[in-house]
Amino acid sequence: MTQPERNNDAVDNRKQGRRGKSKGRVVDLDALLEVQALLGDESCDRDLLIEHLHKIQDKFGHLAAAHLAALAQEMRLSMTEVYEVASFYHHFDVVREGETAPAALTVRVCDSVSCEMAGSEDLIGSLEAALGDGVRVQRVPCVGRCDKAPVAVIDQYTVDNASTASVTSALDAGHRAQPMPQDSIDFDAYRGAGGYRLYDRLLAGDIDGEAIVDALEGTQLRGLGGAGFPVGRKWRILRNQPAPRLCAVNIDEGEPGTFKDRFYMLSDPHRFLEGLLIASRVIGIDSFYIYVRGEYPSVLQVVKQAVDELAGKSGYALPHIEMRRGAGAYICGEESALIESIEGKRGMPRLRPPYVAQAGLFGRPTLEQNCESLFWIRDVIEKGSEWFDSQGRNGRKGLRSFSVSGRVNKPGVHLAPAGITIKELIEEYCGGMLDGHRFYGYLPGGASGGILPASLGDIPLDFDTLQEFGCFIGSAAVVVLSDQDSARQAALNSLRFFAHESCGQCTPCRVGCEKAVSIMEGDDWDIEQLSDLSEVMIDASICGLGQAAPNPILSVIKYFPHELGIEGQQ
């Protein structure tokens, strides 16, 4: 049974009145009617739980116990199932019986490393004093706009380079929703510039799927969500799996410092969709689930609009495509946690094997691909692997999209040769350091990628070049520190983030991150204890969050010992 058929059956069940009953709770009639009105004729399949929680949160600003009980009845779920999911995700404000609902209006201020460097702590204090009790000021992890730090968010409206004055002005003006971007390339413009011609060739048989997989295997295109698994090899593995095959597209970039996916999806969504269609045809994928970060309402709008354009104008028989909205959980960037979230569950990583290519979404073989990896498929095939691989520098091959923030004149997404050094990136693409700032250090791969000093600024930035230094490039989220910053503070900020975002499933990560923060907040670091903690977290954590969390700690101990008052090595 295909996913659309299963959803239609669920709608029929609701229309016929075959709803479950709540277990151990009397459902409030008014709440039930409100939830039913929100859901309308939509399916109540289990995997849509998070989508329906979003509807309630969007309407009422929080999740009241009465509405959760009503939703549980409508979806024929236990209260435990609904509560455990609702309380897992940071974007949901769960208000239990007897608790006071939060203020009707919330201003969220990012406190991750780039925003902290830009003054988010002062902004939070100033807003709390200026706005009073009627508005909740909430510190939140990275919202994916690190090039515009510090950032504040009012409902879904973003205030870039925020100040107390600009946030107050936005509140007074009633800004609540992000305006639709005006510079996205639409279907007609994309088609007119040669878009979808490669897919047309594939449909016509002028090029076959085997040739495309061969071409991808012959290039250096790798997964660009952070793990770096070769795209061609992944496609080959999925082609050999039994049908039906599914695909989960990851647009949930939550690594502090990264925002490249937002940039590409807002500017050229049809290039991504052509890659998606090619993958569907070459691999034989029946359904796509596009998982968009909850902080990216504009991306959700633009991609939805592009899918509608494609369906209405192209004449193609499209695969089944569903959009899913994340709810604020960094852990859902991990492939199996993302799949759990799409299935309407807590985003907790699965133990492997089986791997998602064998048993992923709904137990079916699943291609999980970062949106940028699909974005480059057309260019790599049309221009050839030689073109792509020739773009590298310092012995490396290909192109990388660097999300650069921090103390540079031109932060933003910079498409540069793989293997470029941080010094070259700053001078050639970022307009140099800010006036009055001297290059001091950098995070080459976001909060989890470690921290390196300026003296190691000539290392080629690419997959597999930073491991010997205790770092990695991941999604190429580069944060540049100056002599006015502290690597120790950047590491503490990173560990606070990991402690906040740990899913709690495994003890090494859950307890290790919190313990590390408590030690790092002291005047003197207990180096021996931090080193022991790091070793256990790296060796015993289930997924990459806990395994990579110690990288900033170990980097500071090794490369910035003067900040700790100890001797180190470099």
pLDDT(44) > 90: yes
Residues 369 and 400: their CA atoms lie apart, in Å, by 16
Count CB-CB contacts under 10 A for residue 351.
Answer: 9
Handedness of CA 227, 360, 331, 377 (dihedral sign): positive
* 194-235 pLDDT, tens digit each: 999 999 999 999 999 999 999 999 998 999 998 899 999 999
pLDDT(16) > 60: no
Contacts of 79 (CB under 8 A, 6+ apart): 22, 23, 24, 25, 68, 69, 72
Virtual CA dihedral for 370, 374, 377, 380, nearest 10 degrees? -30
Helix spans in 401-477 (H): 422-428
- The residue to which tokens 């709803």 are assigned: 19
- Please report which confidence band the pLDDT of residue 15 belongs to, taking 50, 70 and 90 as the band edges: very low
Class of domain 187-383: alpha beta
* 433-467 pLDDT, tens digit each: 999 999 999 999 999 999 999 999 999 999 999 99
Q: What is the pLDDT of residue 21?
A: 54
- CATH code, residues 105-172: 3.40.30.10
* 148-196 pLDDT, tens digit each: 999 999 999 999 999 999 999 999 999 999 888 889 999 999 999 999 9
Q: What is the mean pLDDT of the chain?
A: 94
Count CB-CB contacts under 10 A for residue 186.
Answer: 15
Query: 486-570 has which fold?
Result: de novo design (two linked rop proteins) (1.20.1440)
Residues 471 and 477: their CA atoms lie apart, in Å, by 12
Q: What is the pLDDT of residue 182?
A: 86
Q: Which of 64, 141, 70, 134 is nearest to 104 (CA)?
A: 134
Handedness of CA 351, 352, 355, 359 (dihedral sign): negative
Count CB-CB contacts under 10 A for residue 195.
Answer: 20
Domain with residues 3-95, CATH architecture: Orthogonal Bundle (1.10)
**DSSP secondary structure string for all residues of 391-410:** T--TT--SEEEEEEEESBSS
pLDDT(18) > 70: no
Domain residue extents for the chain:
3-95, 105-172, 187-383, 391-483, 486-570
Spatial contact of 161 and 148, defined as CB atoms under 8 Å apart: yes
Percent of the chain residues past pLDDT 70, beyond the cut: 95
- CATH code, residues 391-483: 3.10.20.600
Residues 104 and 23: their CA atoms lie apart, in Å, by 31
- For the record, the structure tokens of 230 come out as 């070769």
Q: What is the pLDDT of residue 541?
A: 97
Q: What is the pLDDT of residue 11?
A: 42
Q: What is the pLDDT of residue 568?
A: 58
Q: What is the pLDDT of residue 242?
A: 97
Residue 474 identity (one-letter amino acid): G
Instruction: Decide: helix, strand or coil at residue 496.
Output: helix
Residue 317 buriedness (CB in 10 A; 0-12 / 13-18 / 19+): exposed
* 296-313 pLDDT, tens digit each: 999 999 999 999 999 999
* 488-505 pLDDT, tens digit each: 999 999 999 999 999 999
Percent of the chain residues past pLDDT 90, beyond the cut: 91
Give the pLDDT mean for 62-90: 97
Contacts of 464 (CB under 8 A, 6+ apart): 228
Residue 433 backbone phi and psi in degrees, to 5: -75, 155
Q: Which of 35, 43, 101 is nearest to 71 (CA)?
A: 35
